[in-house]
C-alpha cells in the first residue's frame, strides 16, 4: 500500500510539473501572439500609408494621350 501511494505521489508530482510548464508555455505563447498582432497592425498601417502616398503620386503624373 505504501509503495502504491509513493507511486501515485510521484505521478501526481509529474502531473503538477507538467501543468506548471504548460501554463508557463501558454503565457509565453499569449505574449508572442500579442506582439505578433501588434506588429501586424503596425505593418498594416504602414502599407495603408504607403498606398495613400502612391495614390497621391500617381495623381500628380499627367496623363499622356497617344
* Amino acid 65: pLDDT: 76
C-alpha grid cell, residue 36: 505578433
* Amino acid 32: pLDDT: 98
Kindly report the pTM of this predicted structure: 0.70
pLDDT per residue of the chain (66 residues) written in tens, 0 to 9:
999 999 999 999 999 999 999 999 999 999 999 999 999 999 999 999 999 999 999 999 988 777
Q: How far apart are CA 37 and CA 51, in angstroms?
A: 21
* Amino acid 31: pLDDT: 98
Q: How many residues does the chain have?
A: 66
* Amino acid 17: pLDDT: 98
Domain borders along the chain are 1-59
Amino acid at each position: 500500500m505504501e509503495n502504491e501511494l509513493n507511486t501515485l505521489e510521484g505521478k501526481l508530482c509529474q502531473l503538477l510539473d507538467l501543468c506548471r510548464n504548460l501554463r508557463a508555455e501558454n503565457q509565453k505563447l499569449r505574449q508572442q501572439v500579442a506582439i505578433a498582432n501588434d506588429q501586424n497592425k503596425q505593418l498594416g498601417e504602414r502599407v495603408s500609408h504607403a498606398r495613400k502616398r502612391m495614390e497621391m503620386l500617381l495623381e500628380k503624373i499627367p496623363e499622356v494621350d497617344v
